[in-house]
Amino acid sequence: MNILNELRTRFQAALAGFCDDPASFAWMVKPAQDTRFGDYQANCAMSLARQKGVKPPELAKQIVDRLEVSDLCEAPTIAGPGFINLRLRNDWLRGQMQQLIGDERLGVLPAAQPRRIVVDYSSPNVAKPMHVGHLRSSVIGDAVCRILRFAGHAVTSDNHIGDWGTQFGMLIYGYKHFLDREAYDRGAVGELARLYRLVNQLSDYHDSIKRLPELHDALAAARTTHDETATLPAVSDKALDETRKKSLRKLAVRVAEFEQLVAAADQTIAAVESDETLRSLAGAHRQIAVASREETAKLHAGDAANLALWQQFMPACLAAMQTIYDRLNIKFDLVLGESFYQPFLAEVVANLEQQQIATTSNGAVCVFIPGFEAPFIVKKTDGAYTYATTDLATIRYRVETLSADTMLYVVDARQGDHFKLLFETARKWGYDGVDFRHISFGTVLGDDNRPFKTRSGDTVGLESLLDESIVRARAIVDANDDRKAGGAELDAGERAKIAETVGIGAIKYADLCQNRESDYVFSWDKMLAKTGDTATYMQYAFARVCGIFRKGGIDRAALRQARGEIELATPSERALALQLARFSEVVDQAAAECRPNVLTHYLFETANSFSTFFEHCPVLKAETDASRTSRLLLADLTARVVKQGLELLGIRTIEQM
């Protein structure tokens, strides 16, 4: 049972007649911050009293008089300025535990109104090596799918790969001019990645040469403005002085930004000019950027040779992606990339024009959305369709063919405007009944607070990141096993398997435990720490609970079947039971908000709660048989909740580590 929802429903009934909108005041029931006062707390009396001009404690009393919760709570108390505190009855809580023991779903009820949800995530641009940025979408998207499925919704996961973009023009150009045939035969993906990087590097080089003079001018201008402001005569007016200091700081930031751009351009140029081969290639391919764009245009126009190359590249690219998904244990129901929607684009634009949703402006077909300066361009001046057009065609397909009523896009926050325009356009186009949501996330940063890069400045490849995590995890697993009191327990094969589970789990958890909108700093030490809010801590906690059963020679399934009684004799037993009873409410919240960190936070608290319980309450050596059984049952429930919770995050557990 979702306790929070139940209490809110009871409050809503009690508040009916007190206000026009009882539901929103009932929403103010929350889990208590300070558990000394109770398990849940409502502050609605304060806001409502302000509205009505009565004293909050008096109103709180009136609400409490009408509140019918005696079946699950002790008599509510009113505290301080009008907080209503609720404490669940011990017998009720014990009843809840008793139910959980026999419930595979651990109290989570399937959604009353199941939705048909398409989750668009991972969606990398293929043929470029996947990097850490793709990790966030993949890991968050996978967890969101698992949580929504468990909550009872019909979920279709769709990897909307970028398989039709400009990178293919670059690859085709590279293939036609720079191919190392032998390397390609040995491993197509490696060679394609090299070609992509080479073409990119050469076009960046020419672009930097072209832009460098402008950049120098802009830097000089920024410096002049800064220096002029800095040397203005002093003023006595305090406010004016503050304003000036502020603008001086801003100007300094601008100077630093241009300095960085100049330095980056210098570096790009130097990298090519210091290398004999690269320099001569650059000289021979001055038009490489334009020529690559032309190759893309030819591909899109159906040129047979380019299409054949595209078809030749794709299987290898997809296979490389699949290796990563397999290691991450991420599966998709559909992989319908941008290329799939190409046949529909002309019709989409025609339809938008016909319905006068799109109009031609400066030769481009655009949708104008009030409140947005930039239009949503569905056909460019040169006749090319866009990312936007494809996304519109995709929406139509998902509604008409997949019968989706909800679409979630797990995509980088920097695409926020694209999605706002997309959703508005789709609503105008008739899909106003669909619940569209951009499940947005921030950037993974390095120690320097800049987007995560390797020392050499490349973006970090995903494959090597996973490898490194497993190597680091192995050291932890080895040390832990070697240090065991009764001697090491694991052989090399077991250690390797655990290291894989710990290494992958750590990377996933580090991402999932963040508020997804925030940027976060990538740190090996933090994510693999054995104590603290990490997968490693949780996985070891789980194994520790399983260890109790191993040590006591207890069969967990038989224990459950024996239907022993749960006693909540001590505060730490009660606190653990309350925590376990809240699983359903947490899963519901994580599902409603698409926030895996709600779940990680809960699991961390649960593991801590178990720790406290285990410190205070002997389990195998409990004083009475009844108490031993009760504690074993609590331990078993803890293990099940942690395992299920981690599973919803896509993180594996191992019983012996």
Pairwise CA distance, residues 43 & 283, whole Å: 72
Nearest C-alpha neighbor of 63 from the set 10, 4, 6, 5: 10
Pairwise CA distance, residues 604 & 406, whole Å: 30
Q: Quick one: which of 385, 409, 429, 542 contacts ligand ARG (CB under 6 A)? A: 409
By the rule CB under 6 A, 125 interacts with ligand ARG: yes
By the rule CB under 6 A, 162 interacts with ligand ARG: yes
By the rule CB under 6 A, 39 interacts with ligand ARG: no
The DSSP-derived string for 286-350 is TTHHHHHHHHHHHHHTT-HHHHHHHHHHHHHHHHHHHHHHHHHT---SB---GGGGGGGHHHHHH
1-9, 122-130, 275-283, 286-294 -> range binding ligand ARG (CB under 6 A): 122-130
By the rule CB under 6 A, 124 interacts with ligand ARG: yes
Pairwise CA distance, residues 479 & 472, whole Å: 11
Q: Which of helix, strand or coil describes residue 610?
A: helix
120-128, 206-214, 366-374, 601-609 -> range binding ligand ARG (CB under 6 A): 120-128
Q: How far is the CB of 299 from ligand ARG (least distance, A)?
A: 17
Q: How far is the CB of 418 from ligand ARG (least distance, A)?
A: 7
User: Looking at residue 415, what DSSP letter applies?
Assistant: G
Q: Quick one: which of 146, 153, 160, 300 contacts ligand ARG (CB under 6 A)? A: 160
A 10 A CB-CB count for 272 gives: 20
Q: How far is the CB of 429 from ligand ARG (least distance, A)?
A: 16
Locate 437 and state its tokens: 């949501």
Locate 493 and state its tokens: 């094969």
Total site size for ligand ARG, rule CB under 6 A: 10
Q: Which is nearer to ligand ARG, 279 or 331 (CB)?
A: 331
Q: How far is the CB of 573 from ligand ARG (least distance, A)?
A: 47
Q: Quick one: which of 43, 123, 480, 600 contacts ligand ARG (CB under 6 A)? A: 123
Edge-to-edge strand list for the sheet holding 359-361: 359-361, 364-367, 376-379
Pairwise CA distance, residues 394 & 345, whole Å: 10
By the rule CB under 6 A, 391 interacts with ligand ARG: yes
x/- contact string, 298-337, with ligand ARG (CB under 6 A)?
Answer: ----------------------------------------
Q: How far is the CB of 513 from ligand ARG (least distance, A)?
A: 23
Cross-strand pairs, 156: 118
Q: How far is the CB of 119 from ligand ARG (least distance, A)?
A: 11
Locate 417 and state its tokens: 């405007």
By the rule CB under 6 A, 389 interacts with ligand ARG: no
Q: Quick one: which of 39, 120, 511, 533 contacts ligand ARG (CB under 6 A)? A: 120
In angstroms, how far is CA 412 from the centroid of its own chain? 9
By the rule CB under 6 A, 376 interacts with ligand ARG: no
Q: How far is the CB of 394 from ligand ARG (least distance, A)?
A: 6
Pairwise CA distance, residues 629 & 620, whole Å: 9
By the rule CB under 6 A, 411 interacts with ligand ARG: yes
Nearest C-alpha neighbor of 609 from the set 627, 644, 634, 590: 634
- The residue ranges that bind ligand ARG (CB under 6 A) are 120, 123-125, 160, 162, 391, 394, 409, 411
